[in-house]
Amino acid sequence: MKQKLSLFFLLCCLMSFGQVDEKKLDALILNTLKTFDVPGISVGIVKDGKVIYSKGFGLRSLTSKQPMDDQTLVGIASNSKGFTCTALAILADEGKIDWDAKVSQYIPEFQMYDPYVSQNVTVRDLVTHRAGLGLGQGDLMFFPEGGNLTVNDIVHNVRYLKPENPFRTTLDYNNIMFIVAGEVIHRVSGMSWAEFIEQRIMKPVGMNTSFGSYSRASAATNKIDAHAPVDGKAIAVPHDWNETANAAGGILSNIKDMTLWADFLLNNFTTKEGKKLVSDKQVQQLWSLQIPSGVAPKNPYDTSFYGYGMGWFLSDVKGHKQVQHTGGLIGTVTQFTLIPDLKLGIVVLTNQQSGAAFSTITNTIKDAYLGIPERNWLQTYSSRMQKVEAEYSKQKKEAYSASEAFRKNKDLQPKAEQFTGKYQDTWFGDVDIIRQGTTYRIECARSPRLKGELLPYSNNSFIIRWDDRSYDADAYIIFSYDEQGKAQSARLKPISEVTDFSFDFEDLDLKRK
């Protein structure tokens, strides 16, 4: 029955965009909500300069029970990066920045770990994920929310992040460099990043109900609560984004405004009033491949190239250029897709962190316009996620079973005086390992929400069970002892692959103070 419904939906879409059977798409989205336990989803489609679909489904909050609609505000997360690069393109058109100028020209104190890179890293390098920093490296300086590092602190601390790859050789997705790029905008324009985005981009485009940051949306009422799975069921969790990282992912928007943004981009960066905000020269810069990445030999869209431009991932799908990005926070994920030569834009916003949900919807819509026979993405992603989640559960169960077994032998467990104390990482700050009654705990001075209990795992390691169970990021902490049996340093690593890359534990190098 599902296959017949999906095939009928496909045929309706293929007739013409004006004849899309909304009820069939509605049914797919409602099934997606149930399948992936997502409280609310909003979806928009732009085709040939017209918004042909703009709806919300489900609840914007499991707490308030208020409905999700096309004006419900959602943190678009890393889809904000396209706005950051558009802002830089505007400044480039005005002669105020040069993509290939050294970052130190705009931020004199900026340094990276390697002196050569410090002297040569450019604005272009900041926004193309090719400066050498690894995936998510340094994200703990702003993630999770509640840390007390400022933008200037982050700019300063970049010098302590030892790059994982040689300069300009590898695409490794990194948020910290976008924070630095946002500071370039601030110093050149004299406006905060959020002010610049709102005044110079959102206002001309007509995005009148969007905000450059969460703090600027405090009075808005129609906005989501974030939701994350805890013990197998989605629950409402606190909003999680630090204002210091706005340039990497701070925008709140909705389907109504994001379809305006999509139409603006598809119309060659020109507003409805005919005002071109970015020159053709700069558009070419933004949407030209700056750093390539690998492509699987067999993939669902016969993609032959993939990589990053400036603010967007670029690839080909069935012979058409695709401009796309996703965004993720704790409790929400989003996807934004453009196929420029088809004048097609697809926007999916959610209030749960299931990428399978937005991929199901985007791929189904995209397939219809590309003329691809029905592939039942809902079933594909559902089966895939069941396998992936089973593997994650196995990894976590094995770790905790080993810990439970080890805890039965008190004689083998390290003594408190061996490992408790204050440790420090050069870019993350102080971490306290303390005894509290009969238990041990970890507390991070510069990220106060990152705290939890230590459960013995071996004679030199523990499992950190974070207090906030929505993180799903429990980790090993492994101590290194001196000849007297006293810990002098410690490293962390996740116990499961489910851990989001922004929990950048493996780049910490804790030394006892």
Residue 375 has pLDDT above 70, yes or no: yes
Mean pLDDT, residues 127-148: 94
* Range of weakest confidence among 226-240, 345-359, 450-464: 226-240
Q: Residues 214-243: pLDDT tens digits?
A: 999 999 999 999 999 998 899 999 887 889
Contact call for residues 332 and 344 (beta carbons, < 8 A) = no
Between CA 30 and CA 400 the distance in angstroms is 36
Q: Which pLDDT belongs to residue 306?
A: 97
pLDDT per residue over 303-342, tens digit each? 999 999 999 999 999 999 999 999 999 999 999 999 999 9
| The pLDDT of residue 14 | 35
- Please report which confidence band the pLDDT of residue 22 belongs to, taking 50, 70 and 90 as the band edges: confident
User: Cα-flanking dihedrals φ and ψ of residue 217, to 5°?
Assistant: -105, 20
Pairing of strands 421-425, 344-350: unpaired
Q: What is the dihedral of CA 487, 493, 495, 497, to 10 degrees?
A: 180
The model's pLDDT over 76-98, given as tens digits with 9 standing for 90+, comes to 999 999 999 999 999 999 999 99
* 38 close to 357: Cβ distance less than 8 angstroms: yes
CATH code 2.40.128.50 region(s) in the chain: 393-512
The band of 166, judged by pLDDT with boundaries at 50, 70 and 90, is: very high
Quick check: 480 pLDDT over 70? yes
Query: Does 6 score more than 60 pLDDT?
Result: no
Judge whether residue 12 has pLDDT over 60. Answer: no
3-state secondary structure of 34: helix
Q: What is the pLDDT of residue 9?
A: 39
Q: Using CA atoms, how far apart are residues 277 and 431, in angstroms rounded to an integer?
A: 46
Predicted confidence at residue 7, as pLDDT, reads 38
Binned at pLDDT 50, 70 and 90, residue 410 comes out as confident
pLDDT for the residue 5? 39
pTM of the model: 0.94
- Domain boundaries for CATH 3.40.710.10 within the chain: 2-375
Kindly report the three-state secondary structure assignment for every residue of 449-481: CCEEEEEEEECCEEEEEECCHHHCCCEEEEEEE
pLDDT tens-digit profile of 169-178? 999 999 999 9
Q: What percent of the chain has pLDDT over 90?
A: 92
- For the stretch 95-113, pLDDT in tens is 999 999 999 999 999 999 9
Interval 425-446: pLDDT, tens: 999 999 999 999 999 999 999 9
Mean pLDDT of 13-36: 76
Regarding predicted confidence, which is higher, 373 or 495? 495
Confidence band, pLDDT 50/70/90 cuts, at residue 20: low
Report pLDDT for 241.
80
Span 2-375 CATH architecture = 3-Layer(aba) Sandwich (3.40)
Does 263 score more than 80 pLDDT? yes
For range 371-398, the mean pLDDT = 95
Q: Is the pLDDT of residue 48 over 50?
A: yes
Q: What DSSP character marks residue 73?
A: B
- Could you tell me which CATH class the domain 393-512 is placed in? mainly beta
Q: Which residues contact 191 (CB under 8 A, 6 or more apart)?
A: 185, 199
Closest CA to 245 of 202, 193, 189, 173: 193
pLDDT mean over 1-27: 52
Residues contacting 347, CB < 8 A, separation 6+: 43, 44, 45, 46, 255, 258, 259, 262, 334, 335, 336, 337
pLDDT at 124 over 60: yes
Please determine, for residue 45, whether its predicted confidence score (pLDDT) is greater than 50: yes
Spatial contact of 184 and 99, defined as CB atoms under 8 Å apart: no
What's the mean pLDDT when you consider all of the chain? Answer: 94
